[in-house]
């Protein structure tokens, strides 16, 4: 998960990531082992070479899980899943046998950061892409990870993979993504980690101004930008999926629950029941992380039993607005690979036989 901290009054997110890129046509002069500084190097697209390390609790990592699944990159980029809780040092692979990632054979993602930059001084975050041969982190720059999955890995996309960045929509997507990121994705953290009443009040007003804007925008269109799902929808969904489970109470974003905002609630259910979205959502991991790790906010570490999750697969009625999840020629991804399925006890709408969400 991306790192942040209290800074006198306002929450500030550390956005200084390892910004290397994995490109279809990298510049050999900027490759690993060159004199190009870490963070500016270019690595080659190569199926089977890279391991995507995620935590299902983390909204930024959940983006990468969804995009990888929508594009059908499971066979080209393997995935390791860290447990939902971590200490101040690192995310750990406590879900795996022997508490070792089965591909990298390391107990903590910190080991891959240290392999790249000994004494790595910044936050140990997910998602992170690791070069399997060297065991080194290539990048943890989460917006570029998913953007490059769409643009640079096209030769490895599944047949029927959607275009999540249509050329004709990019300018509008950039504008919408910027507001969603600053005011909603990051806005909930700004509320949750506010250091004073004044900073919290300001953060709360900013968040709900943006939520009201989204409620209005999505009242006349099925998706955020265009007639079909784009990465803009992926980026918003991961915050909405965590809203009632964590942000409403734990982060004090409590003007309204998601279930009390009719447009956003229907929009979230529309996406949740689309393959790639709800079938990657692990509510148990989400709650375990936020309530168990943020002891400065929740000192007891007690994890709530709610909220009621029964409504997520109810009919949403969004078809009446037009559009469709996927453009002509694109299709939904099929069953989730067995090793990557969310347990039904973590998401009651998942079909254990396929890993897909069962609709009402």
Q: Is 191 a catalytic residue?
A: no
Catalytic residue among 50, 58, 204, 223: 58
Three-state helix/strand/coil letters over the chain: CCEEEEECCEEEEECCCCECEEECCCCHHHCCCCCCCCCCCEEECCCCCEEEEEECCCHHHHHHHHHHHHHCCCCCCEEEEECCCECCCCEECCCCHHHCCCCCCCCECHHHHHHHCCCCCCCCCCCEEEECCCCEEEECCHHHHHHHHHHCCHHHCCCCCCCCCCHHHHHHHHHHHHHHHHHHHCHHHHHHCCCCHHHHHHHHHHHHHHHHHHHHHCCCCCCCCCCCCCHHHHHHHHHHHHHHHHHCCCCCCCCCCHHHCHHHHHHHHHHHCCCCCHHHCCHHHHHHHHHHHCCCCCCCCCCCCCCCCHHHHCCCCHHHHCCCCCCCCCCCCCCCCHHHCCCCCCCCCECCCCCCECCC
Does the annotation mark 253 as catalytic? no
Kindly name the residue from 50, 189, 223, 290 that is annotated as catalytic: 189
**Residue numbers annotated as active site:** 58, 189
């Amino acid at each position: 998960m991306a790192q942040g901290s209290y800074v006198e009054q306002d929450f500030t997110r550390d956005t200084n990531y390892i910004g290397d890129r994995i490109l279809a046509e990298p510049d050999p002069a900027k490759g690993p082992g060159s004199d190009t500084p870490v963070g500016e190097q270019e690595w080659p697209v190569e199926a089977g070479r890279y391991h995507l390390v995620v935590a299902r609790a983390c909204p930024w990592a959940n983006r990468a899980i969804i995009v990888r699944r929508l594009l059908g990159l499971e066979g080209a980029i393997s995935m390791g899943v860290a447990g939902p809780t971590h200490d101040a040092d690192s995310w750990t692979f406590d879900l795996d046998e022997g508490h070792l990632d089965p591909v990298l054979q390391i107990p903590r993602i910190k080991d891959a950061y240290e392999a790249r930059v000994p004494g790595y001084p910044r936050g140990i975050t997910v998602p992170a892409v690791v070069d399997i041969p060297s065991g080194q982190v290539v990048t943890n720059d989460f917006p570029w990870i998913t953007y490059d999955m769409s643009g640079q890995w096209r030769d490895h996309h599944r047949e029927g993979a959607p275009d999540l960045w249509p050329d004709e929509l990019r300018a509008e997507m950039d504008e919408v993504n910027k507001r969603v990121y600053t005011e909603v994705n990051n806005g909930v953290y700004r509320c949750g980690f506010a250091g004073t009443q004044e900073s919290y009040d300001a953060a709360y007003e900013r968040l709900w101004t943006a939520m009201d804007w989204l409620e209005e925008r999505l009242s006349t269109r099925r998706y955020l930008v265009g007639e079909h799902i784009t990465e803009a929808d992926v980026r918003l969904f991961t915050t909405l999926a965590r809203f009632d489970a964590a942000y409403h109470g734990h982060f004090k974003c409590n003007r309204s629950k998601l279930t009390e905002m009719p447009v956003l609630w229907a929009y979230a259910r529309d996406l949740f029941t689309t393959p790639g979205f709800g079938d990657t959502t692990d509510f148990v991991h989400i709650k375990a992380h936020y309530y168990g790790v943020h002891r400065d906010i929740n000192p007891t570490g007690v994890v709530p039993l709610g909220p009621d999750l029964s409504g997520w697969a109810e009919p949403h009625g969004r078809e009446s607005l037009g559009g469709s999840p996927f453009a002509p020629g694109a299709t939904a991804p099929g069953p989730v690979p067995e090793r990557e399925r969310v347990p039904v006890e973590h998401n009651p709408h998942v079909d254990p036989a396929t890993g897909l969400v069962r609709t009402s």
